[in-house]
Amino acid sequence: MTEKAGRGRAVLWVGLAAFAGLLAGVGAVYVSERGAGNGDTADCGDVSTFAATLRPHARGEVAAFIPAERAISLKALAFETPEGEKKTIADFAGNTLFLNLWATWCAPCRAEMPAIDRLSTKAPDGVKIAAVNIDTGAYSKAEDFLAEIGVANLDKYLDPKMKIFNDLKAEGLAVGLPTTLLISRKGCALGVMNGPAEWDSPDALTLIEAAAKES
């Protein structure tokens, strides 16, 4: 797939997902303007310099990936497990984090989920995967969907209040679903992709491997 085609497909899917969200009655996703992190960017250092080295790897399936151009700490972003255990990005410190936000009403989210499940078995050492469902209401709908498509490897997370999406939108990092971020070992944004991808493809794995080389 060419870079132009990859970017065009991502823009189309983001628009469709946003429209689907409105039809599903979740227009409030686009309202909140609170900050994403805890305001402490000291640990991020000159993260944008490293993030810029990822730009050549944004091609093909991940051509729409945008490297971070400023320090954004995401350590305080919060979600939970289906059992109610609270988690934050800070809990993944020391690992490069692949963070994906998805919902069952989002067709491109559903389409890319099997690839994310496969990615969880292929990811380089030191890379953790967190796929966070933001459906409102009971988690059973998401759980039924994951069981239906045979997702067997992913750790499951959720945020039924959609605060994680709102916080990322306030930082200019999320405009629709799916939204995927690569996050540094210190909890700082390395870059974002709005739109779907085959996340276990060679293009995606090359990008993720490059992100994991952060010193």
Q: For tokens 């250092």, name the residue.
A: 45
Give residue-wise pLDDT tens across range 66-106.
Answer: 999 999 999 999 999 999 999 999 999 999 999 999 999 99
pLDDT value at residue 214 = 86
User: Chain centroid to CA 115: how far?
Assistant: 13
pLDDT at 193 over 50: yes
Nearest alpha-carbon partner for 36 in 131, 129, 159: 159
Please give the Cα distance from 73 to 81 (Å, whole number).
22
Dihedral sign of CA atoms 15, 163, 179, 192 in order: positive
Give residue-wise pLDDT tens across range 113-155.
Answer: 999 999 999 999 999 999 999 999 899 999 999 999 999 899 9
Residue ranges and CATH numbers for the domains of the chain are 3-211 (3.40.30.10)
